Amino acid sequence: MTITDNAVYVGGRRTAEPKTLDETFEVMREHQGVAWIDMLHPDKTELRAVADELNLHHLAVEDALTGHQRSKLERYGETLFVVLRPAEYLDDVEKVKFGEVHVFMGPDFMVSVSHSDFPDIGTVRKRLEAHPDLLAEGPHMILYGILDLIVDEYAPVLDGLQNDIDEIEDQLFSGDREVSKRIYDLLREVIDFQRATRPLDDMMARLVDGLTGEAELEMKRHFRDVADHVTRVTDRADSFRSLLENALTVHSTLVAERQNDEMTRMTETSLAQGEQVKKISSWAAVLFAPTLVAAIYGMNFTNMPELNWYFGYPFALALMLGSGVALYFAFKKRGWL
């Protein structure tokens, strides 16, 4: 059975625990009480049986059967259909795990449908049963209890995200090149968390506005309290997104600066090497000129008039010295030496 708990409350007290759904509806109408049916991963037959008896809208029933819905609040006549996205943080993998809870609320009934093993709706039931005066307020108080539980359980998620963001801020300036992937992955989790929580602001405002009259003044206070918690949750989520987006920008800037520094070092090294090449090339040219003259006159061919010339030897020495000195001063003037 997918029905985890099934009871009828009269005056805020649990007066019956029917064995079947037919018995639940019979007792509810006979005693003019409030039926609260809690279901976990319901099958189509059970949910449609509840829907037919309570005249639930077929579109809302289809949503509850298929799941994977966004957070929303819709009214179908006197029936209120609410989709909530509870969450928990998996710190070891830095992921936000989302569940799904669907709520059908009418004047005399509450049907809560869970598509995940968390949160434990049973804790809400126990808390309210310990305060019959609250349960006597009717289905709205049950809805408040479920909302309060889910919103309160967002706090550990935010704390987990905050802790990882603090670690990223320390890692950001350590030079770790893998930090960009961590920032991006965590930013994606924050955005998904925003999608789950942001609609709650409008939902809470609509719930408060839907309560009129002095009799519902206390209920308004309860919903406003949850609304305040929702505002704090969404504000923190917004700040996390801004921090992570700024962290991505800072990381890109730091990477660009490191690349510029590397290019500067490479350029300076290249320039230093170029200066060394200039000096080596200049000295090679200075030495090459005398070597060239000596090589020419060292060939000892028969028909070389300079070999028999009286001033041939001093002329060759002067030519070697002069060419070397001329090249030296030429390179010196250009700053190569």
| Per-residue pLDDT at 332 | 74
| Per-residue pLDDT at 110 | 95
Virtual CA dihedral for 197, 202, 207, 212, nearest 10 degrees? 160
Q: Does any domain span residue 243?
A: no
The kind and range of the H/E element at 138 are none
Q: Does any domain span residue 214?
A: no
Q: Does any domain span residue 100?
A: yes
Tokens of 80: 């209120």
Contact 16, 27 (CB under 8 A): yes
Contact 4, 19 (CB under 8 A): no
Q: Does any domain span residue 81?
A: yes
| Per-residue pLDDT at 329 | 76
| Per-residue pLDDT at 22 | 87
Among 65, 98, 121, the domain-final residue is 121
Parent domain of 90: 1-121
How many domains does the chain fold into?
2
Q: Does any domain span residue 264?
A: no
| Per-residue pLDDT at 320 | 74
| Per-residue pLDDT at 2 | 83
Strand-pair partners of 308: none
Q: Does any domain span residue 281?
A: yes
Among 121, 152, 175, the domain-final residue is 121
Q: Does any domain span residue 265?
A: no
Query: How many angstroms separate the CA atoms of 310 and 60, rounded?
Result: 121
Tokens of 259: 């690349």
For CA atoms 203, 209, 215, 220, give the dihedral sign: positive
Q: Does any domain span residue 160?
A: no
Looking at beta carbons, which pairs linking 216-220 to residues 24 or more positions away fall under 8 Å?
216/140, 218/137, 219/137, 219/140, 219/141, 219/144
Number of Cα atoms under 13 Å in the Cβ half of residue 106: 19
| Per-residue pLDDT at 330 | 76
| Per-residue pLDDT at 43 | 85
Query: Which residue carries 């600066």 as its tokens?
Result: 257
Among 121, 140, 167, the domain-final residue is 121
Question: Low-confidence residues of the chain, pLDDT below 50?
Answer: 1
